[in-house]
């Protein structure tokens, strides 16, 4: 897959995820223009605030997971990743975060792998639950683990295949962009990536990455 094709996949993913909160803001503004009851206007303003916050949280997360956040710095503050995860998944109280990342900073590739694994795991918690995120660096190699556990945990088989390199690049859809990116970064930096069996009632991802 060339850079243009992958950029198209990421754009499709971003548009899909931002369509709902941005559309809600548009609908809210239309309602606000026609609504004169103070109580209803207050409710609409609350919906607008929620949609704006959701859009901002998504953009902050994707900037770090997909974009060039951090500029030319090779290391990124791990708390920046934690804040991005909390904003995207924990702001509504349905998902809790168990943060077990030891280093104060992580290499940019490691941050991106970690966040993309978290994105896959968090999306799998369809009824909420707990995300456990851990990472340690030793001898220039970062080991990371992401676990998702809840009442109902789902992982699209195609995303699993993309993560494990079991699907041709030409068949990867936008929903598999995060998995494909995580795998490519791990392979590029001489690491490995693993996923728990589909039969398990939880999701568990492990990855190592050098540099």
Quick one: fold of 3-210? Heat Shock Protein 90 (3.30.565)
Residue 70: pLDDT band with limits 50, 70, 90:
low
Residues 6+ away with beta carbon under 8 Å from 73:
108
- Residue ranges per structural domain of the chain: 3-210
Higher pLDDT residue, 143 or 176?
Answer: 143
Which band of pLDDT confidence, cut at 50, 70 and 90, is reported for residue 4?
A: low
User: pLDDT digits over 84-127, tens only?
Assistant: 999 999 988 899 999 999 999 999 999 999 999 999 999 999 99
Higher-pLDDT residue of 4 and 207 is 207
Structural tokens at position 4: 């243009």
- CA pair distance 169, 178, nearest whole angstrom: 13
Which of the pair, 69 or 128, is modelled with greater confidence?
128
Q: From 158, 204, 207, 170, select the one nearest 187 (Cα to Cα).
A: 207
pLDDT (0 to 100) of residue 72 = 47
Asked if residue 199 has pLDDT above 70, the reply is yes
Residue 131 has pLDDT above 50, yes or no: yes
Distances in whole angstroms, Cα of residue 41 to Cα of each of 29, 30, 47, 52: 10, 11, 10, 16
Other C-beta atoms closer than 10 Å to the C-beta of 197 total 7
- pLDDT (tens digit, 9 = 90+) per residue, 15-68? 878 788 888 778 878 777 777 777 777 887 888 888 888 889 999 999 999 887
């Amino acid at each position: 897959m060339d850079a243009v094709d992958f950029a198209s996949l990421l754009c499709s993913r971003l548009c899909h995820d931002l369509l709902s909160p941005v559309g809600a803001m548009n609908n809210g503004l239309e309602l606000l223009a026609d609504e004169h009851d103070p109580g209803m206007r207050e409710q609409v303003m609350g919906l607008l605030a929620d949609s704006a916050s959701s859009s901002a949280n998504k953009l902050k997360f994707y900037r770090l997971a997909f974009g060039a956040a951090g500029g030319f710095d090779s290391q990124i503050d791990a708390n920046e990743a934690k804040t991005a995860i909390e904003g995207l998944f924990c702001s509504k109280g349905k998902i809790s975060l168990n943060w077990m990342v030891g280093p104060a900073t992580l290499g940019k590739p490691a941050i991106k792998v970690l966040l993309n694994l978290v994105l896959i795991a968090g999306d799998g918690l369809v009824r909420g639950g707990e995300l456990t995120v851990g990472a340690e660096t030793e001898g220039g190699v970062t080991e990371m683990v992401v676990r998702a556990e809840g009442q109902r945990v789902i992982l699209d088989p195609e995303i699993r295949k993309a993560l494990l390199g079991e699907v041709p690049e030409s068949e990867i859809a936008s929903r598999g962009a995060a998995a494909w990116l995580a795998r490519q970064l791990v392979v590029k930096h001489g690491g490995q990536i693993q996923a728990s069996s589909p039969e398990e009632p939880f999701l568990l991802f492990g990855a190592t990455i050098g540099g």
